[in-house]
């Protein structure tokens, strides 16, 4: 699959050697995971994308998209499922030991998990001019997600001093090792474009993304979802 994407990319470069840049689109993105994995209960993201639209022939175009999306992930037992040896084998047993040794000591432990996502996407689309100023463009293609999952434990400690009638509180974060990968996916959707000015369009789009299952490769085993739905709203500058 990875070789197929490389070949498709090279073929596309050759095919656009005599093509014309049609527009550059800058858009805001909201994405939500549909089929989640790895005990993830919720996953949604906000981000920004840049799309370069190149006309191939007639109404047929090729789109190159890049950008950044920040996913917030909910996983109730992430401190157990992360396979963080330092926490599981050394640090957490010490916390339990300290609590047992001092009845005046308490702690609340939580976790925060984020995922940085950099998409590299290649799509083919076809412009359908339905009404004056309004264009609908179905699109299909694929790409690669370069991701980094980040997680840290939050520790809120309290230490009571009964004789002084005082409670000391303090908190800090304990960062786990990152998880990284670059899984591949297929993507399809539709763009709606409304002409505002001779050089400017308003664009809205929705896309469905399906990950390819590559067990043991490309970080797929640690990727938190199998599919997602995305919505984009932006401005397109025409050339």
Question: Which pLDDT score, from 0 to 100, does residue 7 have?
Answer: 44
Burial code (b: 16+ CB inside 10 Å, e: under 16) for 220-232 equals beebbbbebebeb
Both ends of the chain: CA-CA distance in Å? 34
CA distance 92 to 80: 11
For residue range 18-46, list pLDDT tens digits in order.
568 889 999 999 999 998 988 899 999 99
Question: Which pLDDT score, from 0 to 100, does residue 14 have?
Answer: 45
CA distance 22 to 9: 19
For residue range 57-93, list pLDDT tens digits in order.
889 999 999 999 999 999 988 998 898 999 998 899 9
Pick the CATH number of 2-6+18-238 from 2.40.160.20, 3.90.226.10, 3.40.50.700, 3.40.50.300: 2.40.160.20
For residue range 167-217, list pLDDT tens digits in order.
999 998 999 999 999 999 999 999 999 988 888 999 999 999 999 999 889
CA distance 74 to 44: 9
Percent pLDDT > 70 in the chain is 92
Question: Which pLDDT score, from 0 to 100, does residue 8 have?
Answer: 52
Residue identified by tokens 């397109």 is: 236
């Amino acid at each position: 699959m990875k070789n197929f994407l490389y070949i498709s990319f090279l073929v596309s470069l050759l095919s656009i050697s005599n093509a014309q840049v049609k527009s550059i689109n800058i858009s805001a993105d909201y994405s939500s995971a549909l089929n989640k994995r790895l005990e993830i209960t919720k996953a949604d993201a906000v981000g920004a994308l840049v799309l370069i639209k190149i006309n191939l022939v007639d109404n047929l175009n090729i789109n190159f998209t890049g950008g950044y999306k920040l996913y917030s992930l909910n996983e109730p037992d992430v401190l157990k499922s992360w396979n963080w040896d330092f926490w599981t084998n050394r640090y957490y047993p010490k916390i339990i030991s300290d609590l047992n040794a001092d009845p005046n000591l308490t702690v609340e432990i939580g976790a925060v998990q984020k995922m940085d996502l950099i998409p590299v996407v290649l799509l083919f689309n076809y412009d359908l001019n339905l009404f004056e100023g309004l264009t609908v463009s179905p699109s299909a293609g694929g790409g690669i997600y370069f991701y980094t999952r980040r997680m840290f434990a939050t520790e809120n400690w309290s230490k009571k001093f009964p004789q002084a009638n005082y409670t000391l509180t303090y908190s800090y974060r304990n960062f786990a090792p990152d998880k990284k990968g670059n899984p591949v996916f297929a993507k399809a959707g539709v763009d709606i474009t409304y002409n505002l000015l001779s050089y400017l369009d308003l664009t809205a789009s929705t896309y469905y993304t399906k990950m390819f299952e590559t067990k043991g490769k490309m970080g797929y085993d640690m990727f938190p979802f199998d599919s997602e739905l995305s919505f984009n709203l932006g401005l397109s500058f025409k050339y």
